[in-house]
Chains A and B, each alone.
Chain A
Amino acid sequence: MPGMVHIEQLGVAVGEFRLRDLTLDTAEHEYFVVLGPTGAGKTVLLECIAGLIRPDRGRVLLGGKDVTDLPPEQRRVGYLPQDYALFPHLTVRENLGFGLMVQKRQSEIPAKLEHYASLLGIGHLLDRLPDRLSGGEKQRVALGRALAVDPGIMLLDEPLSALDVATRERIGDELRRIHDRTGITTIHISHNFAETLRLADRVALVRDGQLVQVGTPEEIMRQPQSRFAAEFVRSENILAGVAAGTRIRVGETVLTSTASATGPVCVTIRPDDVEALTTAAADAFRATVVGIEARGDGYALHTQGVLPLTAFVSRSEYRRQQFEPGCSVWLRLPLAAVNVFAAGGDEPANHPNGDQAA
């Protein structure tokens, strides 16, 4: 399986950044996003896979082959650094053909140039120098340069972070389209969960050089398994409770979950799963709106009642129901929205009746 990546007990320290016995697997043809805050060691991980950093411990296997001791040029990886690093002294054409030239595969250059210029829409840029390209154009050229040498896997280091919001979404979709066309296993580094949701087949959440959780974007978003994960994906409603089977006591309230647990737990509920109504409903909690916060595509209602909860409402819903600070609301929590995980060292310190969710 040429595109499979297996990282085993990887440990390395580079300046302030380190990886601590990180183990990870990607499937062939997968678009895999490594997600985490700045300083989590994501780039170090990518550079270990590319062979630019030698790990102190552990192994890197690409396509089942142990490449830990191989130099970068023998690993068949395509690497797209955050700043693209297009060779400034070479034209776009020369940048695209560079890998084939040094690998003495000159005869392939014309066909590859035509193919990737067409796939990436950069045919009109071939004679330009990199300093005459926009951010998005640079990125496409860098991508073409990496793809032209037929890599077994692609490594993308925060490829969208230097772009403006509109370009970011368009280029993000392009990255996914190109991945789907080429089928090359891709590892993409990101600190942006929204970007991850758009692109990833699976996500590895990392923090301080350690793996926190692996799953589909939906799993990471709906079922975070630690307080860090819940906060990173902005679950916002993070409450401490005690579980007995599927029933969880949170303060004076009992919630029901689809998952079963025992003992001290954390409960997370995404604001967009909390249904806010201005009229009484039988299976809803009554609460008072204590704050309203405008967000990109709607409003967050911070409420206080038997539980301190934040609900998210769309702009149209907000206008229709006429929410305002001090008004009463009824909050309904669908069964599937209540996520539970065992309380560890990073469970919420606040009692649920405190100001936790505000």
Chain B
Amino acid sequence: MSTRPRSLPAADRMFRTVFGGTLGLAVLVIVGILGGMAAYVDWPRYVRWAVTTPDGHAFLAQVWWSVRLSFVTSIAATFLALVVAIPAAYALSRFRYPFPLVVDTILDLPIVLPPLVAGVALLTVMRYWLGPLFDSLGIQIHYTARGIVIAQLFIAAPFAVRAIKAAFDDISPRYEEVSRTLGCTPFQAFYHVGLPLARHGILAGTIMTWARAVSEFGPILIFCTASEKTAVLPIRVFLFNSAGDVAGGVVTSVILILMAAAALLGFKLLGGSRLSL
């Protein structure tokens, strides 16, 4: 008895071809654009230049400074974002509060605002409203690393709230309710039950928040300007490009892409892809 290979009906084949083809095209566009950019640089030659020449050493020092500044500021911003976001996200997920739509919209505003506007807002408030206060304390905010942290925080904190709220939403409040009947105060229920159960989601949200903070550009440019002192990696890309050093911009961009890819991978390995971001 002969067996015929099973084939899909024509309508199914057509459907799969159109939708699958679109998916393939989307992946191809992203890989094409990023790959095309990376291919601009003759990497072996560039690496040799960076390692062996004085100009190359200066280039490496600039990039290394930017990597360090980016890490320090983005980690500080992420930490501060979590301090705000964990309780705020828990409250959003568990409590009933007035005007939920308004509160939700306000929290999302920094995410959807044009980065330029976020920077102008920060600059105005820090220079004209809070500036005198910080000046009297001898603390300078704008045009400094502190300013970078605040600019990153302004965007990253709402992002963290959204990501961590999704983690708490995933957990039935029944666990905390049961813990209350077992003797937990609301704080204990949060600490012993809510927080540990949301830990994977919080960690995934933390990674994405950090990725967001490290790639922040617009608000930093306005609030802290593009200078050597404030050259986090995206600002460094801007400075290279402004000076006509396309290869330097590409190399720095590739470093940023690798960092983003590592963050995304970590996020997905932690199961964060289930969270709505």
> Interface on A for B, CB 8 Å cutoff?
47, 50-52, 71-73, 75, 77-79, 81, 83, 85, 87-89, 98-99, 102-103, 145-146, 149
Contacts and interface: CB of A to CB of B under 8 A. Distances in A.
B183 interface: yes
B60 interface: no
A98 B185 CA distance: 13
Contact of A145 (B182, B186, B188, B197): B182
A85 B176 CA distance: 9
A211 to B, nearest CB: 24
A19 to B, nearest CB: 18
B193 A87 contact: yes
A98 B172 CA distance: 18
Nearest to A80: B178
B177 interface: yes
A79 B178 contact: yes
Contacts of A83: 172, 174
Contacts of A51: 180-181
25 contacts: A47-B177, A51-B181, A52-B177, A52-B181, A71-B185, A71-B186, A72-B180, A72-B181, A73-B183, A73-B184, A77-B181, A78-B181, A79-B181, A81-B178, A83-B172, A85-B174, A87-B175, A88-B197, A98-B182, A102-B183, A102-B184, A102-B192, A103-B183, A146-B181, A149-B182
Contact of B177 (A81, A99, A146, A149): A81
Contact of B179 (A50, A71, A75, A102): A102
B181 A50 contact: yes
B196 interface: yes
A72 B174 CA distance: 13
B182 A102 contact: yes
Contacts of A87: 175, 179, 193, 197
Contacts of B186: 71
Nearest to B171: A88
A52 B173 CA distance: 11
B interface: dominant SS: helix
A85 B175 contact: yes
A336 to B, nearest CB: 44
Given A52-B177, A73-B181, A102-B183, 8 more contacts: A52-B181, A81-B174, A83-B174, A87-B179, A99-B183, A102-B182, A103-B182, A146-B182
A51 B178 CA distance: 11
Contacts of A146: 181-182
Contacts of B174: 81, 83, 85
Interface of B: 172, 174-175, 177-186, 188, 192-193, 196-197
Nearest to B191: A102
A85 B183 contact: no
B69 to A, nearest CB: 37
A52 B196 CA distance: 22
Nearest to A74: B183
B94 to A, nearest CB: 13
Contacts of B183: 73, 99, 102-103, 149
A349 to B, nearest CB: 42
A51 B179 CA distance: 12
B174 to A, nearest CB: 4
Of the listed residues A73, A103, A149, the one surrounded by the most CB atoms of chain B closer than 10 A to its CB is: A73
Contacts of A75: 181
A102 B192 CA distance: 9
Of the listed residues A47, A98, A146, the one surrounded by the most CB atoms of chain B closer than 10 A to its CB is: A98
Contacts of A73: 180-185
A77 B177 CA distance: 12
B115 to A, nearest CB: 39
A316 to B, nearest CB: 47
Contacts of A81: 174, 177-178
A209 to B, nearest CB: 21
A71 B180 contact: yes
A99 B193 CA distance: 12
A145 B175 CA distance: 13
B10 to A, nearest CB: 44
Nearest to B174: A85
A89 B174 CA distance: 14
B116 to A, nearest CB: 44
B40 to A, nearest CB: 48
Given A102-B184, A102-B192, A145-B182, A72 B177 contact: yes
Contacts of B196: 89
